[in-house]
Structure 1
Amino acid sequence: MKKIIYEQYGSVDVLHSVYMNKPIPNTNQILVKVKAVSINPIDWKIVMGEVKLMSGRKFPKSIGCDFSGTIESIGQNIQNFTVGDDVFGVINPFKEGALAEYVIVNEKQLAKKPDYLSFAQAAALPTVGLTALQALNTSGKSIKGKEILINGASGGVGMLAIQIAKSQGAIVTAVSSVKGHHLLKKWGSDFIIDYNKEDVAKINKQFDVIIELSAKLSFRQAKKIMKPESNYISVTPSLWNFVHSFSNNIISKKKYKILLMQSDTNSLNELANNILKGADIYISKTYPMSDFKEAYNSIIKHGALGKVVFSIPF
Structure 2
Amino acid sequence: MRAVVINEYGSKNVLVGQELPKPEIKANQVLVEVYATSINPIDWKLRAGYLKQMFDWTFPIILGWDVAGKIVEVGSEVTYFQVGDEVFARPDTTAEGTYAEFTTVDEELLAKKPSNLTFEEAASIPLAGLTAWQSLVDNTKVKQGDKVLIHAGAGGVGSLAIQMAKHFGAFVATTASEKNEAYVKELGADEFINYRIQKFEEELSDYDVVIDTMGGDILNKSFQILKPGGRLVTIAGQPDLALTEKHQVTASSHWLKPNGKQLGEIGELLEKRILKPQVGSVFDFSAEALQKAHELSETHHAKGKIVIKVK
Q: Same fold (TM over 0.5)?
A: yes
User: Could you say what secondary structure the match of 2:76 adopts?
Assistant: coil
User: Could you say what secondary structure the match of 2:54 adopts?
Assistant: helix
Q: CA deviation at 1:6?
A: 1.0
- TM-score normalised to the size of structure 2? 0.92
Residues 263 and 275 (structure 1), Cα distance of their counterparts in 2 relative to 1, 3 Å cut: farther
Q: Is the 8 A contact 1:156 1:306 kept in 2?
A: yes
Instruction: Provide the C-alpha distance between the structure 2 equivalents of 1:219 and 1:169, rounded to a whole number of angstroms.
Output: 24
- TM-score normalised to the size of structure 1? 0.91
Superposition pairs of residues 144-183 of structure 1, within 5 angstroms: 144-183=144-183
Instruction: Provide the C-alpha distance between the structure 2 equivalents of 1:223 and 1:20, rounded to a whole number of angstroms.
Output: 48
| Residues 6-41 of structure 1: CA deviation (Å, up to 9, x unaligned) | 122211111111101222324332111100001111
User: Could you say what secondary structure the match of 2:268 adopts?
Assistant: helix
Where does residue 301 of structure 1 map in the other structure? 299
User: Could you say what secondary structure the match of 2:97 adopts?
Assistant: coil
| Residues 139-197 of structure 1: CA deviation (Å, up to 9, x unaligned) | 56452111111111101111111111111110100101112212101111100011001
| Residues 93-123 of structure 1: CA deviation (Å, up to 9, x unaligned) | 3543111000012211211112112111111
Instruction: Provide the C-alpha distance between the structure 2 equivalents of 1:153 and 1:184, rounded to a whole number of angstroms.
Output: 6
The structure 2 residue matched to 1:284, chosen from 276, 280, 290, is 280
Instruction: Provide the C-alpha distance between the structure 2 equivalents of 1:197 and 1:23, rounded to a whole number of angstroms.
Output: 50
Instruction: Report the residue type matching 1:260 in the other structure.
Output: W
Where does residue 272 of structure 1 map in the other structure? 267
| Residues 241-275 of structure 1: CA deviation (Å, up to 9, x unaligned) | 27x45x76678631221111122221111111147
Superposition pairs of residues 34-53 of structure 1, within 5 angstroms: 34-53=34-53
Instruction: Provide the C-alpha distance between the structure 2 equivalents of 1:49 and 1:262, rounded to a whole number of angstroms.
Output: 22
Instruction: Report the residue type matching 1:212 in the other structure.
Output: D
Q: CA deviation at 1:289?
A: 0.9
Instruction: Report the residue type matching 1:197 in the other structure.
Output: I
Matched residues, number: 308
Instruction: Report the residue type matching 1:282 in the other structure.
Output: Q
User: Could you say what secondary structure the match of 2:37 adopts?
Assistant: strand
Q: Is the 8 A contact 1:54 1:94 kept in 2?
A: no
Q: Is the 8 A contact 1:71 1:86 kept in 2?
A: yes
Q: CA deviation at 1:59?
A: 2.6
Residues 101 and 57 (structure 1), Cα distance of their counterparts in 2 relative to 1, 3 Å cut: closer
Q: CA deviation at 1:203?
A: 2.3
Instruction: Report the residue type matching 2:268 in the other structure.
Output: N
Instruction: Report the residue type matching 2:291 in the other structure.
Output: K
Q: CA deviation at 1:233?
A: 1.1
| 1:235 counterpart = 2:238 | no
| Residues 38-62 of structure 1: CA deviation (Å, up to 9, x unaligned) | 1111111111122233222533222
User: Could you say what secondary structure the match of 1:130 adopts?
Assistant: helix
Identity %: 32
Q: Is the 8 A contact 1:164 1:275 kept in 2?
A: no
Where does residue 257 of structure 1 map in the other structure? 252
Q: Is the 8 A contact 2:66 2:89 kept in 1?
A: yes
User: Could you say what secondary structure the match of 2:53 adopts?
Assistant: helix
Q: Which moved more, 1:97-106 or 1:273-282?
A: 273-282
Unaligned runs of 5+ in 2: none
Instruction: Provide the C-alpha distance between the structure 1 equivalents of 2:279 and 2:219, rounded to a whole number of angstroms.
Output: 30
User: Could you say what secondary structure the match of 2:299 adopts?
Assistant: helix
Q: Is the 8 A contact 2:91 2:106 kept in 1?
A: no
Where does residue 75 of structure 1 map in the other structure? 75
Instruction: Provide the C-alpha distance between the structure 2 equivalents of 1:140 and 1:189, rounded to a whole number of angstroms.
Output: 18
Instruction: Provide the C-alpha distance between the structure 1 equivalents of 2:149 and 2:300, rounded to a whole number of angstroms.
Output: 23
Unaligned runs of 5+ in 1: none
Instruction: Provide the C-alpha distance between the structure 2 equivalents of 1:135 and 1:217, rounded to a whole number of angstroms.
Output: 20
Q: Is the 8 A contact 2:33 2:71 kept in 1?
A: yes
Residues 253 and 56 (structure 1), Cα distance of their counterparts in 2 relative to 1, 3 Å cut: farther
Residues 176 and 252 (structure 1), Cα distance of their counterparts in 2 relative to 1, 3 Å cut: closer
User: Could you say what secondary structure the match of 1:17 adopts?
Assistant: strand
Instruction: Report the residue type matching 1:273 in the other structure.
Output: E
Residues 25 and 93 (structure 1), Cα distance of their counterparts in 2 relative to 1, 3 Å cut: closer
| 1:97 counterpart = 2:92 | no
Residues 251 and 201 (structure 1), Cα distance of their counterparts in 2 relative to 1, 3 Å cut: closer
Where does residue 115 of structure 1 map in the other structure? 115
